[in-house]
Homo-oligomer: A and B are copies of this chain.
Amino acid sequence: MSNVPHVRSFPELLQLAEEVGPYICVLKTHIDIIVDFDDDLIVQLTEIATRYNFQLFEDRKFADIGNTVVHQYRDGIYKIASWSHFTNAHPIPGPGIVDGLRQVGKPLGRGLLLLAQMSSQGALTSPEYAAQAVQMAKANKDFVFGFISQDCLVPEDPSLIYMTPGVQLNAGTDALGQQYNTPDLVIRERKCDIIIVGRGVYKAPDCAAAAKEYMAAGWEAYKKRISQ
């Protein structure tokens, strides 16, 4: 169970992390939209993550050549590799992107998800594209541990993890092409492992209650799946 804050300020992000912390396994961040970011945010976020035992996942969607992502992952203001337990990358630039990120992340014990499928309308992630992402993951299992995807792509290998965005309790779309599926469809039918819930939680009047509700819905769907 995960979570994507589009919250845009330091105190809001910390407050959300405190509220949903007990009900999530991963907090998915977009650190580059926080207007008042400073290093202390990372210190406090890490403390909350440790206390509630969830992982931090900077949803950076790296998408550049190997030599560039080395710096984007390690350096700059955000120093993503220093605090984000895992991150993700588009396979589009070819295997050099995995090599570049591994060079930085592996010595720190980090891991990588490849974006094999996207939930947005008209996404160019064709079945051939997803198959190439799978090949890239299989060739790099010392660092790549799974996918951002809409389906379980390698059912014969339970060591690969599937995290699925675009989840709400009611299916639908937003004004900018995002498409939503339910926890039941994602976990029970499509056999993914982790639902990524964004607006369903952080726009709820009571974020903690919403996170708890999604946690329960995901767990119910999983129980149904294994008793099918």
Contacts and interface: CB of A to CB of B under 8 A. Distances in A.
A2 B39 CA distance: 33
A123 B92 contact: yes
Copies of chain A in the complex: 2
A31 to B, nearest CB: 8
Nearest to A118: B93
A130 B161 CA distance: 30
A96 B177 contact: yes
Contacts of A76: 8, 32-35, 37
Given A6-B67, A176-B100, A177-B65, A95 B121 contact: yes
Size class of A's contact patch?
Answer: 35 or more
Given A66-B177, A67-B6, A177-B95, A77 B77 contact: yes
A75 interface: yes
A146 interface: no
A142 B87 CA distance: 34
Interface of A: 6, 8, 30, 32-35, 37, 59, 61, 63-68, 70-72, 75-78, 90-97, 99-100, 115, 118-126, 128-129, 132, 174-178
